[in-house]
Structure 1
Amino acid sequence: MIVHWHRRDLRASDNRGLARALATGEPVVPLFVLDPTVLEHASPIRVACLLEALDDLRTWYRDRGSDLLVARGEASAVVPAVAATYDAGTVVWNEDYSGLARERDRAVRAALEDGGIAVDTVHDAIHHEPGSITPNQGDHYAVFSYFWKKWRDRDKREPVDAPDAGDLADVTGDPIPSLAALGFDEPDATPQTVTTTAARERVAAFCSGPIYRYADDRDYPAAGGTSRLSPHLKWGTIGPRELYAATERAARRAEATDDRESVRAFQRQLAWREFYAHVLAFNPAIVTENFDGYEHEIEWRDDPDELEAWKAGETGYPIVDAGMRQLRTTGWMHNRVRMLVASFLTKDLLLDWRVGYDWFRRLLADHDTANDVGGWQWASSTGTDAQPYFRVFNPMKQGREYDPDAEYIRTHVPELADASADEIHGWHDLEPEQRERAAPGYPAPIVDHAERRERAIELFERARGESSE
């Protein structure tokens, strides 16, 4: 027999590691390990999504006379034990790129090899593995536009088939533990369904129409113009090749050049995910350290009250608060708004991007280390290809431009339901009595954007050694 160790590839179709195991001709034993070292870094909403995806995958295997073995314990002990139980000569898994995952995998590999069991690893989560798209000098690109030009022109592999029933081992697993059994409370938010069926339904719906408007709609949070596929890409309930093939079919169906360009705009976002995966693979320390080194340490402020106001969506900046409340209630946030709230934390509140990253890691159902670290460091002007430190998002202007009717804001900030769009977007300029009349339950702005913008620029100039002082 041969073991396929599922991790962030919770699907049977378009799974290159599983296909590699099938190619041996040996019956495949599917395995997932609930590793306490990994779960230490998890959160209720992500574990809830994980358990839902596991249950769905287990059903798929059981419908074909097999089962998904779900075991608890340190992977370096569990994986060799399962391999020994089923007399498996090889364990196959798909690569992951975070420092935590690679540390775990090194320990598992060492334990397996000590027991005389072979290891076979496959690149599956992204189209082009780290080290395959490089500049003339160096191991990875630090500027996305150069990476994108090569990524878009590289051939993409075709999706691989799911196993047939006869390819799978006749095994029976124990019940999947509950959230409570794993030590987690029920999440406050209700995330979207994370299963392969749900992912395929979402891909089909998106590629049947919204993808042709994506370039125009994607920045408007009330438009519903994004794919909402990020939780599925996080957990691997859809394969990257299957998704890309669906977008290519959509491009061939496009009736106008603008439609095809809109498909390309979506594919560009897929490339951003891979760009950040490459960066993380070669720079694992960026989870806690600035990618862009500064001559001096950035003098981040420490203000618990302002941080709590940001977390609660009580800053008095409507578009920021709408995003933070959407995060708390749904476990997801629109990407344009993610940039805005990250900019607000780091440039208006002058708080360390790492505290914002930690909050997102706790509440996002789609938290992906590479993507989230990349996004936070971009917004805070410390990362690869980052927003220049002197360009600071104006939350009022952004709200007026991307939510002109305040539809998104009113959805998530009900205190503003009766305020006009002009009052909402001009909230910072209203007199106290005007605010009281428009929305008595909504706070005044906690900081002055213009003043904090100047302080942010000074802060970064000092860190870069550019201050005139």
Structure 2
Amino acid sequence: MRLHWHRRDLRLADNRGLAEAPDSPAGLFVFDDRVLDHAGPPRVVFMLEALERLRAAYRKRGSELLVRYGDPASVLPEMADRYDAEFVSWNRDYSGLANERDDRVANALRDEGVTPQKFHDAICHEPGSITTNAGDPYSVYTYFWKKWRDRPKDEPDPVPELADIGSEADGETPIPTVGDLGFDPPDASVPPAGTDAARERLEAFLEEDVFRYDEARDYPAEGCTSGLSPHLKFGTIGIRELDRRVRETRDAVEGEKRESVVEFRSQLAWREFYTHVLYFNPEVVTENYKTYENGIEWEDDPELLAAWKRGETGYPIVDAGMRQLRTEAFMHNRVRMIVASFLTKDLLIDWRAGYEHFRERLVDHDTANDNGGWQWAASTGTDAQPYFRIFNPMTQGERYDPDGEYIKTYVSELSGVDPEVIHSWHELTPTQRENAAPDYPAPIVDHSERREAALSMFERARGEDS
């Protein structure tokens, strides 16, 4: 018999470790305080529902998802002994902390005569398998994408025969509530979790929206996103299953439709690119990827940071994004770039403060992807936005939400205001603002002035390094 330790693979189908290790598996999930310390309430709620769905899938097949609390390095050897398991399998994660934990667990199992088995599962191509001609990991996405795009992809794994331990696990530990784990219920709504929900979302996206993804993905009011990011975060759908369905859709169409599907597929490669970056550079979670940027003189202004978090900056597209985050535990990707640029280039606040807020609030927070996105916006990361290209939040709002539809959805104070007024908010006099929307704040900083300050800040940092 074998135990399979689920972490970010909360599914049975297309699960490499579950399917390919020897012996029939039963599932095991361990609530580890050191992992929960980095969690946020929306993600915990999503994870708990995914675990309920996974347990139901195990039980439907006469098996069980076992649940325990504690340090996996203690829990896994103990459970292997209890169920007389010769093997414990799991799928690899690629952060530095995950690798350290995996090594501790593997050593503890070996000490007890149990064989640990680690599998590559979370992404299509293992770190180190896509490299430059010199054998180095890529730091530029475009070159990575060209090789990723053309590299053959494995087929999804079927659900294996599971261990029949249903009767032995009677009275098994229930799945806890968010309160049981010490979290307050989130203010935001959380989407449905589990493999069925992921597949339903995927099929709905591939039926229509994927064919307009290329032209509509940057316009938040269009809602043209797959909605799969939390499912990829927790592995409620396998990446091979997902990519196969996307390729099948691509191959069934031509022209602009095909190009649009390819554009969506390139976003899967972006996620994988950032995972490779994290694997080879685990320090980027807390440090700038570009070391010459370590001399940046970030400002420490709690009041500006608090206004950004509340969505009360006086820049409508920024505030809409921050309020969407608060109410939905999600933010449209274009708007994520805008609010991140605003924090780092207009407020001159360290990207790490924004990353931590997103980590707490997002249902789809992923260390590699979010860190990559934040460092891209802050011009400190690999293949990042050049420091001298600074988003103008008003221009971005006018370009990507011309009718103010997205802004009005989340900024109620502007719901009855003409789009021209919304997009010229920074130019209005106090009297004009009072007449148009008395409850909406004036801009908390002047973009033009802060742009110059940001340029000076980055140039000083670069000059000190040269």
Taking the aligned partners of 1:138 and 1:440, their CA distance within structure 2 comes to 59
Q: Do the aligned residues in 1 keep the contact of 2:292 with 2:465 (CA within 8 Å)? A: no
Aligned match of 1:420: 418
Report how far residue 191 of structure 1 moved: 1.1
Are the counterparts in 2 of residues 296 and 465 from structure 1 also a CA contact under 8 Å? Answer: no
Deviation beyond 4 Å, 4+ runs, structure 1: none
Stretch deviating more after TM superposition (339-348 or 113-122):
113-122
Distance in 2 separating the partners of 1:144 and 1:430: 41
- Superimposed CA distance per residue, residues 58-97 of structure 1 (whole angstroms, 9 cap, x where no aligned partner): 0111111111001111111111111111111111100001
Question: What is aligned with 2:450?
Answer: 452
User: Given the alignment, which residue of 30, 35, 49 partners 2:32?
Assistant: 35
CA drift at 1:20: 1.3
Answer whether contact 1:28 1:169 (CA < 8 A) is retained: no
CA contact (8 A) 2:25 2:161 kept: no
Task: Show the 5 A alignment for 1:136-285.
Answer: 136-164=133-161, 168-170=164-166, 171-172=168-169, 173-254=172-253, 256-285=254-283
Task: Determine which of 100, 103, 106 is the counterpart of 1:103.
Answer: 100
Deviation, 1:138, is 4.9
Query: Is the CA contact (8 Å cut-off) linking 1:291 and 1:383 kept in structure 2?
Result: yes
Question: Which one-letter code corresponds to 2:6 in the other structure?
Answer: H
Alignment of 1:51-450 (within 5 A): 51-164=48-161, 168-170=164-166, 171-172=168-169, 173-254=172-253, 256-294=254-292, 297-450=295-448
Residues 291 and 384 in structure 1, CA contact (< 8 A), matched pair in contact too: yes
Partners of 1:296 and 1:464 within 8 A in 2: no
- Residue 2 of structure 2 aligns with which residue? 2
Mapped to 2, the partners of 1:29 and 1:77 lie a distance apart of: 18
Separation in structure 2 between the aligned mates of residue 442 and residue 103 of structure 1, nearest angstrom: 48
Structure 1 residues 313-362: Cα deviation after superposition (integer angstroms, max 9, x where no partner)? 00000000000000010000000000000000000000000000000000
Letter in 2 for 1:410: K
1:398-451 deviation line (CA, Å, top 9, x unaligned) = 100100000000000010011100000110001111111111110000000011
Distance (whole Å) between structure 2 residues aligned to residue 168 and residue 378 of structure 1: 48
What is the TM-score when the length of structure 1 is the normalising length?
0.97
Give the stretch that moved more between structures: 63-72 or 330-339. Answer: 63-72
**AA aligned opposite 1:361:** R
Q: Identify the range of structure 1 (115-124 vs 365-374) with the bigger mean alpha-carbon deviation.
A: 115-124
Alpha-carbon shift at residue 184 of structure 1 (Å): 0.9
Amino acid at match of 2:213: Y
Whether the 8 Å CA contact 2:16–2:120 is kept in 1: the answer is yes
Q: SS at 2:463's partner residue?
A: coil
Shift of 1:119: 1.1
Alpha-carbon distance in structure 2 between the residues aligned to 1:231 and 1:391: 30
Question: TM-score if structure 2 supplies the norm length?
Answer: 0.97
- Letter matched to residue 378 of structure 2: S
The residue type paired with residue 409 of structure 2 is T
Moved more, 167-176 or 352-361: 167-176
* 5+ residue gaps, structure 2: none
In 1, are the aligned partners of 2:198 and 2:231 still within 8 Å (CA)?
Answer: yes
Task: Give the conservation status (yes or no) of the 8 Å contact 1:319–1:409.
Answer: yes
Cα distance between partner residues in 1 of 2:227 and 2:18: 26
Superposed CA deviations along residues 247-301 of structure 1, whole A, max 9, x for unmatched, are 11111221x3110010000000000000000000011000000001116610000
Gaps of 5+ in 1: none
Shift of 1:164: 4.0
Cα shift at 1:98: 1.1
When structure 1 is superposed on structure 2, of 56-65 and 145-154 the one drifting more is 56-65
Q: Assess if the C-alpha contact under 8 Å between 1:461 and 1:467 holds in 2.
A: no
What SS does structure 2 have at the residue aligned with 1:60? helix
On the 8 A contact 1:10/1:57 being kept in 2, the answer is yes
Distance 2:361 2:96 in 1: 21
**2:401–2:407 contact (8 Å) kept in structure 1:** yes
**Deviations 1:217-266, CA, capped at 9 Å, x for gaps:** 10000001110110000010010011111111111221x31100100000
Q: Is the 8 A contact 1:331 1:363 kept in 2?
A: yes
Whether the 8 Å CA contact 1:322–1:412 is kept in 2: the answer is yes
Whole-Å separation in 2 of the counterparts to 1:176 and 1:121: 25
* Identity %, equivalent residues: 62
**Following TM superposition, by how much is the alpha carbon of 1:106 offset from its aligned partner in structure 2, in angstroms?**
1.2
Cα distance in 1 between the residues matched to 2:293 and 2:74: 44
**3-state SS, counterpart of residue 449 of structure 2:** helix
The one-letter amino acid of 1:318's match is P
Determine if contact 1:458/1:467 at 8 Å carries over to the other structure: no
2: CA distance between counterparts of 1:244 and 1:465?
44
The residue type paired with residue 12 of structure 1 is L
Q: Secondary structure at the match of 1:133?
A: coil
Q: Any idea what SS the aligned residue of 1:30 has?
A: strand
Give 1:100 shift: 1.8
- Tell whether the 8 Å contact from 1:190 to 1:329 is kept in structure 2 after alignment: yes
Give the residue type in structure 1 aligned to 2:419: A
**2:293–2:380 CA contact under 8 A, matched in 1:** no
Change over 3 Å in CA distance of 1:253–1:6 after alignment to 2: same
Kept in 1: contact 2:288–2:294 (CA 8 A) = no
- Post-superposition CA distance 1:42-61 (Å, at most 9, x none): 11111111101000100111
CA distance in 2, matches of 1:210, 1:46: 26
Contact 1:320 1:395 in 2 (8 A): yes
**The 10-residue stretch of structure 1 (274-283 or 189-198) with the greater mean CA deviation from structure 2:** 189-198
Q: Match of 1:64, as an amino acid?
A: R
Distance 2:165 2:259 in 1: 45
